[in-house]
Chains A and B, each alone.
Chain A
Amino acid sequence: MTTVPQTSPSRHRPARIAVNAGLVIFIALYAAIAFLQPNYLEPGLFMNFLRRAAPLVILACGQLYVILTGGFDLSMGAVATLVVLAASILINGDPDATWAVIGALYTMGIAVGLVNGLVITFLKVPSIITTLGTMLLVNGLALAWSGGAARGDLPDNFRNLGRLVWRDVPLIGTLPLAALVLAAFVALAWFGLSGTVYGKRALAVGDNPRAAELAGTPVAATRILAFVVSAVSAVTAGILLGGFSGVSVNAGEGLELQAIAACVIGGAQLLGGRGSIWSAVFGALSLFALFTLLNLLGLPQALRDSIQGLILIAAVGATVWRTRRRT
C-alpha cells in the first residue's frame, strides 16, 4: 500500500548449512589423538574423554551466556574451587548431608551470580572488573575458610557424580554418570537459548544494549540472568571436579579463562552478539582434546598455558579476519 509498488522483495535462498568451526577443529584434533592412540576410538575411552571434559564443557556453556550479552565472567573458576572446598567441609564424610549441601552450594552460586549481575547492571562497573573482584573475593573466602589446605572429606555418593561409571551398558559399553550430567546441562542450556525468547534477547543486548533498551528489552534482567546461569554452571562443574579429582585448594584455577577460550574457539564473539550453544560445547571439546593431545605427545604441562594463549589469540584473530573480509 505504498505509493511506490515494488516487485517481490525477497526470494528464498536454500538455507546455508552452518558448520560450527569448533566441531571441525574437534574432529581434527580427535582424529590426531586417535592416530597416536587408536584405542581412543573405542566407546569406553571416548566416554572417559567426555567424563573428563564435562566440567569444562559445562563451564563454557555458562560462560557463553555471559559472552553473548557482551560480558565476561572471571569468577567461575573461583566459584568451582569454593564448591569443592565447601562441599568437603560441610559434608565432612556424612553421606546423608550430600543432597542438602548440594542445594546450599547452588544457592551460594546463585547468590554470587546475582551479586555479579547487580553490580554490573546497576553500578555500571565493567563485567571484567566486577568478576575479577568476585574472583579474588571468593578465592580468598574459600582459602580462609579451609585454612589454606584441603579439609574434611567427600563421601562416595557425592564423588560418584563425577566418577561413577556404569559398565556393560548395551551399545556404548560404559556410561559415566558425569556424561549424563553433561548431556542434561547442555540440553538445558540449549533450551534456554534456543527454546525460549531469552537467547535472542541476549544476542540483541550483546550486540547493541542501547537499541535493545529502547526497543523495550529488559536489559538489566537479561544480563543478571546470564551471570546467574554462569555461576550455576560453575557450581555444577565444581561438583563434578570434586568427584573425580578430590578436594584441592586449586581445583578451579584457570578454568574461567579456559571457558572463555573455548567459547571463542567455537566461534562466539567476544563483546557479544554472536554465538550459539554449540560454540561453547565444541569449543570446549576442542580445547580439551588439545590438552589430551599435548599430554600424549609428552609435552610438559606448563606448555598447556602457552598453547592455550596462542590459540585464543589465533581464534580471535581469525574471527576478526573473517568479519573484515566479509565487509
Chain B
Amino acid sequence: MTVVPALSMTGISKAFPGVRALDGVDFECLPGEVHAICGENGAGKSTLMKILGGSYRPDAGAIHLAGKAMQFTHPRQAAEAGIAIIHQELSLLPHRTVADNIFMGHEIARRGLLDKAAMRERAAELLRRIGARIDPQALVSSLSIAFQQLVEIAKALLLDTRILVMDEPTAALDERDSRTLLNLVDSLRGDGVSIVYISHRMPEVTAIADRITILKDGRKIWTRPRDAAPISEIVRAMVGRDLKDFYPAAPASMPREVLLSIKGGTNGALRDVTFDVRAGEIIGVAGLEDSGKGALAQALVGDAPFTSGTVALRGQPIALRTPRQATAAGIGYLPGDRKREGLALRQSVRDNALLTLRSMVGLLTRPQRGALADGVIDERLRAMDVRAADFGQEIGTLSGGNQQKAIIVRWLAQASDILVFVEPTRGIDIAAKAAIYETMRVFADSGRCIVVVSSDMPELIGIADRVLVMHQGRISGDVPRGASEEEIMHLALGLADAPSEETGA
C-alpha cells in the first residue's frame, strides 16, 4: 500500500510495576479507515489508547501521524495534533449547555468577550453535520446518554480531529441508538477521519470495521481485514480458545413454585407491571432506553419503590421500600453502573465482597466471626475465579470482569434467593462474560432465580428462559426462550401485542 497511514504506532511497549501492559505492539490506521481493536479486559487496549492520547508515555516505540514522528508528554499535545478520544465514561459538564460543552477550552471570543451567538451557530452546524437533532442551548444533563455521546463527537469534530478513538461507544446505548451511532461512524469514515474503534460487541465490530486487530496480554495477535476475520476467529484469538459453549445450556428442569409475584406495580416510571418470578428461572427484561427496564430493576430492589400495586414473596405480601428491606427479603442487586453504584473503589476486594454480610449482621458482631472471616470469603472469591494478586488490594485496581464477579460473590455470600442483574456484562471481557453466565445458570438451577435487565439482545436471548419486553413503562410482551431479536425489537418499539388501552398513549 502506498497510502501514508494517518496513524502508525510501532513497537510500543509499556510496563507498570508488576505488569507488562504492552509488549512491542504495532498498530496503524489509514485515512478514512475504521480499525477495530478487540481484546479481553487487561489485554492492553486502554493502555495503548492512553499512550496515543498522551496520558501515558511509552517505554519504547514510536508514534507517527501522517508520517511525522510525534512525542506527546501531555494530553493537550495529542489533542492539538488532531487526536480525540471518546471514553466510555463521558466527560461533559452536566449543568452547562451543549454549546458550552462543545466549545469547552476553545471558546470563540470577540473583543475579549464570549461570542455566544457564534458558538451556538457553529455548534448547531456541527450537530447537523453528524445528523443529531439536539438544541445547542439544551443542558447536557437533560440529554440521554446516546445524545451526550453525540455531543462528545461534535466536540471532537470542532478541533478538526483526524483520528477519533471510540472506547466502547455503544456500551451504554440500546439497539436503536447503537445503530444511529454506527451510521455516524460510517459517515465520518467517508469524510476521511481515521477511527479507532474499541468494542466488546462482536456483531458491531464485524459490521463497521475495515480491519480488526486483536490484542492479548499486551501483545498483538494479528491484524486482518474484516473479510478474513469471522467472529469465531476473533473470539478464539482473544481468549486463546474456542468458546462454543458461550451461553450455558437451557435449564435442567422446568420452573417451579412462584418466588416473587408483582401485581399492578406502578410508580413514576412504571405502569401496571404484573409478572411472576419462579424458582429456577432466569427472566430477561428487554426494552429501549427509558422503556422502564431500569426502573423495574430499581423497584424490585427497593431503590425506587412501587408506589402502588402489590409485591408478594412466596405468597406473603412484603414491602420493598428500601434496598435494605429488599436485601433482608433475599433480593440482591447488581447495578448497571459498577463504579458509581456497585463498588466502594478504595476498599479491598474482600471488603467489597463482604459489604452486604457486614451490613446485615448485628452491629456489634466481631469482624472475623463465621462467614465474615477472611478465609471464608477468600474461598468464595476463589470459587468465583476473581483474579487478584491479593484480595486485600483495592478493588478499583481490578478489571471490570473481576469487579463484577466480586459483587456477585457479595450476594452469594448473603445467600440471596432473587438476584436482580442490570447489564451484568457491560464492558467486561468474553471469558468473564461466559463465567458470569454460567454462574447465573447454576444459581437459577439451584431453585433460586435471576431477573436480568440488559440492552444486549443476544445476551438476553442466550441466557434468559423468557424475556419480558418493556415499552413506555409497561410490559408490552413476554417471549419464551428461543425468540428472535426481531420479535423482541418489535415489542420494544411498541408495534405489536400492546394492550389495547395503550393505543394513543
Contact = CB atoms under 8 A, between A and B. Distances in A.
A215 interface: yes
B345 interface: yes
Given A3-B243, A200-B354, A207-B347, A9 B363 contact: no
A222 to B, nearest CB: 9
B361 A197 contact: yes
A13 interface: yes
A195 B366 CA distance: 6
Nearest to B384: A2
Interface residues of B, number: 56
A201 B365 CA distance: 12
A297 interface: no
Contacts, number: 134
B358 A201 contact: yes
A270 interface: no
Given A10-B387, A203-B351, A207-B345, A197 B363 contact: yes
Contacts of B414: 216
Contact of A273 (B243, B328, B344, B358): B344
B390 A10 contact: yes
Interface string B222-263: 000000000000000001010101101000000000000000
Contacts of B323: 213-216
Interface stretch (B150-158, B435-443, B464-472): B435-443
Given A215-B359, A217-B359, A10 B389 contact: yes
A210 B387 contact: no
Q: Is the interface of A mostly helix, strand, loop or mixed?
A: loop
A194 B327 contact: no
Contacts of A13: 389-390
Interface in A159-211: 194-201, 203-204, 207-208, 210-211
A211 B342 contact: yes
A196 B367 contact: yes
A273 B241 CA distance: 41
B342 A218 contact: no
Classify chain A: how many residues form its interface, as a range. Answer: 20 to 34
A216 to B, nearest CB: 3
Contacts of A195: 366-367
A212 B431 CA distance: 28
Given A4-B239, A10-B378, A216 B327 contact: yes
B356 A215 contact: yes
A207 B333 contact: no
A100 interface: no
Contact of A216 (B243, B356, B383, B388): B356
Q: Which 3 A-B pairs have the closest CB atoms?
A: A216-B327, A207-B344, A217-B359
Interface of B: 239, 241, 243, 245-246, 248, 301, 303, 323-324, 326-328, 333, 335, 340-347, 351, 354-356, 358-361, 363-367, 372, 378, 381-383, 385-391, 410, 414, 431, 434-435, 438-439, 442
6 contacts: A10-B382, A10-B391, A198-B363, A211-B335, A216-B323, A217-B356
